[in-house]
A and B are shown apart, each in its own frame.
Chain A
Amino acid sequence: MTDIRETAKRIAAQGSSTPVAARDPVNQAMINNWVEAIGDNNPVYTDPDFAAASIHGGVVAPPAMAQVWTMRGLHGKRNADDPLGAMLAALDKEGFTSVVGTNTEQTYHRYLRPGERVTASTKLRDINGPKETALGPGWFVTTVTTWSVGEEPVAEMVFRVLKFRPKSSARIIDAPEYAASVLRPVISRDTAFFWEGTKKGELRIQRWGDELRHPPGAVAPNGDLEATPDYIVARGTGTVYSFVVHHHPKVPGKKTPFVVALVELDEGVRVLGELINVAPEDVKIGGSVRAVFLRIDDDVTLPAWEVA
């Protein structure tokens, strides 16, 4: 979390991005398309005679089109110094993978006229989080974009998005019938986060810097004794890397045969678990699976798999 705040501080300190020029000057063709699609019949945008006699003295562009002129287009890419792109990428890395716009505040200093060419420059205003929202935990990211003609600012927009981790859609299945017989995992200081996660339907994978490690260990893979781990929440989807069908001996609380799968997560690490609700002959290496969680009792929830 401190990383997110540090990243935001660094991005905000960079100030406004290099102005990006609109592909085209303000022009009648794009205005015509826009008013037709929106259904706006105001003649100051399209009728030269009406516009000339109006308060504007000539045709103007709809103010709400300010952002349209500098949209990146079908194959456009964000500039390298775009602060919104940088902040969203940083939050992606922390598992806040979904985004939704929440509000915009646009201020128009004046109307634009055909022939004028705008540039847009964006800065990160602030971030706010983590917050629990109806969509899942997330961060609000607020940017300010200024559109200018030459040096003159003509419009501004405060834009806020929620960058969130979608609520786990993993199924948590009550399985109290195993409570008496299940082999209970040893929960240590190094693995407690994992078992806290399964209770919430989250598959948490230990991370040392950029490297994921499962099962979690006490020391960084590179042996750095100063390093401390955190974790990501895996998407919970993967493929069967290998599996065994257990016929014998009997396992307390289980009907044989059952399948234990080694699943390769989309994130790249492998996790063991029972593959449930499938006949052993239907299991295939490479088959898609998703995580489910078997709630044994208040203390233990085991990860398992089912065919996706």
Chain B
Amino acid sequence: MKTLTAAEISIGMELPELVVDATPTFIISTAIATRDFEDVHHDRDAAVARGTKDIFLNILTDNGLVQRYVTDWAGPEALVRSINIRLGVPCYANDTLTFSGRVAEETVVGRESRFVIEVRARDSLGDHITGTVQIAVPQGDGQ
């Protein structure tokens, strides 16, 4: 399990696609694992009564998925420094999320050089998440 070095990353690189099946079990187990007990994330009848068509994914899980997507690619020792996400359409039970990403810029914060990864997760309704993740990785060129 290797972590990418700065020398191995270049602007414009595309991350491999990740597909996540948003089954009811996935939506409920992630809601509970994030300690989010809002009924719209685990109780279909309650969600429908509130005017949505089914239970849907919660925001804390979106943050987790985006983190996972980027470190799955960059490697276990890539340090996640920030996650900014904008929420679009909901992700209802039984939909599928497809993650795509691209290295957008290299930036220096303090003494740390970081890469900004643009991430997008689409479902059948459109963009569920758009956002950016900043990571710091080892230099890897002898520095």
B96 proximal to A (CB < 8 A): no
Name B18's closest neighbour in chain A (CB-CB).
A39
CB of B33 within 8 A of CB of A106, answer no
Once the chains are docked, how many angstroms separate the CA of A103 from the CA of B132? 12
CB of B87 within 8 A of CB of A64, answer no
DSSP class of A's interface residues: helix, strand, loop or mixed? mixed
A229 proximal to B (CB < 8 A): no
CB-defined contacts of B63 to chain A, threshold 8 Å:
64, 67, 104, 106
CB of A64 within 8 A of CB of B79, answer no
CB of A103 within 8 A of CB of B67, answer no
Once the chains are docked, how many angstroms separate the CA of A44 from the CA of B83? 19
DSSP class of B's interface residues: helix, strand, loop or mixed? mixed
Name A24's closest neighbour in chain B (CB-CB).
B35
CB-defined contacts of B82 to chain A, threshold 8 Å:
105-108
Stretch at the interface among A4-12, A30-38, A116-124, A196-204: A30-38
Name B29's closest neighbour in chain A (CB-CB).
A37
CB of A64 within 8 A of CB of B33, answer no
CB of B77 within 8 A of CB of A40, answer no
Q: Which of B61, B66, B82 has the most CB of A within 10 A?
A: B82
CB of A38 within 8 A of CB of B37, answer no
B65 proximal to A (CB < 8 A): yes
CB-defined contacts of A34 to chain B, threshold 8 Å:
33-34, 64
Q: Min CB distance, B59 to chain A, in Å?
A: 5
Once the chains are docked, how many angstroms separate the CA of A100 from the CA of B34? 18
B60 proximal to A (CB < 8 A): yes
CB of B80 within 8 A of CB of A104, answer no
A55 proximal to B (CB < 8 A): yes
Once the chains are docked, how many angstroms separate the CA of A81 from the CA of B60? 23
Name A54's closest neighbour in chain B (CB-CB).
B77
CB of A39 within 8 A of CB of B20, answer yes
CB of A44 within 8 A of CB of B77, answer yes
Query: Which one of A55, A68, A111, A166 lies within 8 Å of B34 (CB-CB)?
Result: A68
Once the chains are docked, how many angstroms separate the CA of A148 from the CA of B30? 24
Once the chains are docked, how many angstroms separate the CA of A67 from the CA of B85? 15
Once the chains are docked, how many angstroms separate the CA of A83 from the CA of B4? 42
B124 proximal to A (CB < 8 A): no
Q: Min CB distance, B4 to chain A, in Å?
A: 13
CB-defined contacts of B59 to chain A, threshold 8 Å:
101, 104
Name B136's closest neighbour in chain A (CB-CB).
A55
B108 proximal to A (CB < 8 A): no
Q: Min CB distance, A128 to chain B, in Å?
A: 15
Query: Which one of A37, A67, A100, A102 lies within 8 Å of B33 (CB-CB)?
Result: A37
CB of B68 within 8 A of CB of A39, answer yes
CB-defined contacts of A106 to chain B, threshold 8 Å:
63, 82-84
Residues from 27 to 54 in B contacting A, C-beta threshold 8 Å = 29-30, 32-37, 51
Contact with A along B1-34 (1 / 0, CB 8 A): 1000000000000000000100000100110111
CB of B84 within 8 A of CB of A103, answer yes
The 7 tightest CB contacts between A and B, nearest first, are A71-B35, A37-B33, A40-B68, A64-B67, A38-B64, A105-B84, A103-B86
Known A44-B76, A44-B77, A63-B83; further 17 A-B contacts with Cβ < 8 A: A34-B33, A37-B33, A38-B61, A38-B64, A40-B71, A42-B76, A64-B80, A64-B83, A67-B60, A67-B63, A68-B34, A71-B36, A74-B37, A103-B85, A103-B86, A104-B59, A108-B82
Q: List 5 A-B contacts (CB under 8 A).
A: A42-B76, A43-B76, A64-B83, A68-B34, A71-B60
